[in-house]
Amino acid sequence: MKLNPFKRHRCHDCNLRFRRIEELMQHNQLAHCDKSGYECRHCKKFFEGMEQMRRHIKQVHSYQGNNSSPNH
């Protein structure tokens, strides 16, 4: 099975393939609305999976605003 390395981002809903993840994200939002996707509430970036989004938030936003300090 030969995969096209230039179109490695596949839409899970309609099996369309895209070269860039941005194209896939845009397609997802346009064609499938917010179905099977996760949007970063900090910068509105779109992710396929929740784990990817959570990792992004951890790396980029460092859980800012997560006030976990106890009332001491």
Binding site for Zn ion (CB under 5 A): 11, 13-14, 31, 40, 42-43, 45
Q: How far is the CB of 45 from Zn ion (least distance, A)?
A: 5
Q: How far is the CB of 12 from Zn ion (least distance, A)?
A: 8
Q: Which is nearer to Zn ion, 11 or 25 (CB)?
A: 11
CA-based nearest residue to 45, from 60, 67, 64: 60
**CA 24/CA 54 separation, integer angstroms:** 19
The answer to whether 31 touches 14, Cβ cutoff 8 Å, is yes
Q: Which is nearer to Zn ion, 6 or 63 (CB)?
A: 63
